[in-house]
Amino acid sequence: MNNKKKVIIVGAKFGELYLNTFIEPPDHIELVGLLSTGSQRSHNLAKAFGIPLYRQVSDLPRDIDIACVVVRASIIGGTGNLLVEELLAKGINVIQEHPVSVQEIERHHRLAKQYKRHYCVNSFYSATTAGQTWLSSADHISRNIGSPASYGNLTTSRQLLYSTLDWLVQSLDLGADVLTPELIYRQPLFDVLNLSSSSGHYLLQLQNHLDPSDPDMHSLAMHRIMLGWNSGYLSLADSYGPVTWTPVLHAKDHQKDHLSLYQTAGTPEGAYLHAQATQKIYQSNASRLDTFEVLGPEGIQTTINMFINQIDTDSLARSLSSEHQIRVAQLWEHILTLCGPVKETKLTPAKPVDLLCREEQ
């Protein structure tokens, strides 16, 4: 990363989080423009960041190194894939926001190779600090125990399924192994699936409904993940944490009845009584604004850094490899096929509950 890379953001909705990566500009990347349809929002953002607003790929200068395409892909009704192809043809390396179909990922990699450029999908959440903490913790546990997690459960929505699966596949480090989904039963609010591999079984609760007029909202849970080993279980409460580790309870010689608990606590055999019941590995105490302005953009910068390393050295991060990304997309498509069409319903915002402020209403 010796040469500063020029970056353009494509899309002004979720693309705002990508722009926020440059609130405090990193030394090695430079924001040089926003490509959008010309909405008032895009004009406001371009003015705020002091960058040009472009309307067409053909209008872009030739010296752009990386384009971050944050426009819905064709599989979810957008034009993101067409923009990726135009940008690759113009000689620009591309990071595309998820989800993306298997067919389009394979096509974009072929085009990238044809134009001697690089392409990857950004599944976003696993690159955040919470995500990286989770992945490094899962790897540490698996290496110490000698095997990946053998059980677990995950709760998410249709909108967040792709990124949840990316998280899971990275956590398990499957190698040549595969995750096979099976629809077990349907609850009123969730479809329940078993994801099995040679290492274990993982229960997925997938929200089965959304509001087509507001598809980005109304997730009952965004990312709630638990993976377990015989030594304990690793938990992710939500997309940005906290991350906790809960060791299994084992009291040596607990069946002996010569000492009470308070007596045992002062002896070597009572050392387990002083260990934390649950260890907090990561917690940000972030507001929603913090997730949009700080935590999410930090994850985006992590992805951009890995992508730049790939461009400069051909050293490929596993999460950005075509093999990993195709595996995630295949599993995503398989699960959606098993579950069938999502239930479309008109939803209203839930009543907010704040447990930190319990005054009677």
**Would the pLDDT of 222 be above 80?**
yes
Please give the helix or strand (H or E) that residue 131 lies within, else none. Answer: helix 129-145
pTM of the entire predicted model: 0.94
Q: Is 82 exposed, middle or buried (0-12, 13-18, 19+ CB in 10 A)?
A: middle
Q: How confident is the model at residue 176 (pLDDT cuts 50, 70, 90)?
A: confident
Measure Cα distances from 212 to 206, 235, 293, 344 in Å: 17, 31, 27, 6
For residues 251-265, give the mean pLDDT. Answer: 69
Residues 38-52: pLDDT tens digits?
Answer: 999 999 999 999 999
Mean pLDDT of the chain: 93
Predicted confidence at residue 1, as pLDDT, reads 42
Structure tokens at 327: 């595996």
**Would the pLDDT of 202 be above 50?**
yes
Q: Using DSSP bridges, classify how beta strands 232-236 and 223-229 pair: parallel, antiparallel or unpaired.
A: antiparallel
Range scoring the smallest mean pLDDT among 16-20, 278-282, 284-288, 334-338: 284-288
Predicted confidence at residue 361, as pLDDT, reads 47
**Would the pLDDT of 2 be above 60?**
no
CA atoms within 13 A on the CB side of 61: 11
Read out DSSP for 61-80? Answer: -TT--EEEE-S--GGGT-SH
Percentage of residues in the chain with pLDDT exceeding 90?
A: 84
For residues 199-218, give the mean pLDDT. Answer: 95
Predicted confidence at residue 359, as pLDDT, reads 60
Structure tokens at 237: 């409460």
Q: Report angle CA 193, 225, 176 to the nearest 5 degrees.
A: 65
